[in-house]
Amino acid sequence: MTSSDRLYQPGDIILSADEIARVVARLGREITADYDGKNPVLVNLLKGGVVFLADLIRQLPIPHQIDFLSVSSYENGTNSSGSVRIVEDLSTNIAGRNVLIVEDVLDTGRTLAYILNMLEIRSPGSLEVCALLRKKSPKQAGIRVKYVGKEIPDVFVVGYGLDFNEKFRNLPYIAKFVTPE
């Protein structure tokens, strides 16, 4: 860790590890009830959502498939660049399938709106969103999220897979990210 890295630290805890476990278990029950007998494809947005996905699929006793999209909209900072870049596309044909996007945090919604439009063109049977976190923000792009784990303040967060410049993903909790003044 460089001396400049030490200036950046996780701040107040937004969700403890126990709270996260309870939220994920609840989401698992809701998804199981809605998708029983439907063999959904859970599409995870890498990299931030991988820890959430790993915990969520362990809460799903129903048959399901997983796939990944790697997208980028942050340019080494805490604000979205507004430009979405697909780094790696799905390997699954989703035509006619029940697709559930598994998202770590819904911020502005621009990235998710882009992905929803891109996937809708592929003619899924259904297309829904599960977000672990949804920021209370007036700037969201009007995205309808069927499953929401927890509403959080409009702050940048790290931990539980969420990062700042690839740091802090390993924290077992989610915390507000503190930048030096």
Q: Catalytic residues, which ones?
A: 107
- Whether 165 is covered by a domain: the verdict is no
- Of the given ranges (3-12, 56-65, 171-180), which has the lowest mean pLDDT? 3-12
Q: Distance between CA 113 and CA 144 in Å, rounded?
A: 10
CATH number where 83 lies: 3.40.50.2020
- Whether 88 is covered by a domain: the verdict is yes
Range of the domain at 104: 17-154
- Whether 89 is covered by a domain: the verdict is yes
- Whether 44 is covered by a domain: the verdict is yes
For the chain, give the DSSP string: --TTGGG-EEEEEEE-HHHHHHHHHHHHHHHHHHHTTS-PEEEEEETTTHHHHHHHHTT--S--EEEEEEEEEE-SSSSEEEEEEEEE--SS--TTSEEEEEEEEESSSHHHHHHHHHHHTT--SEEEEEEEEEE--TT------SEEEEEE-SS-EEBTTB-BTTBSTT-SSEEEEE---
pLDDT digits (tens, 9 = 90+) for 118-169: 999 999 999 999 999 999 875 666 788 999 999 999 889 999 999 988 889 9
- Whether 52 is covered by a domain: the verdict is yes
State the total domains in the chain: 1
- Whether 66 is covered by a domain: the verdict is yes
Tell me the pTM. 0.88
- Whether 172 is covered by a domain: the verdict is no
- Whether 141 is covered by a domain: the verdict is yes
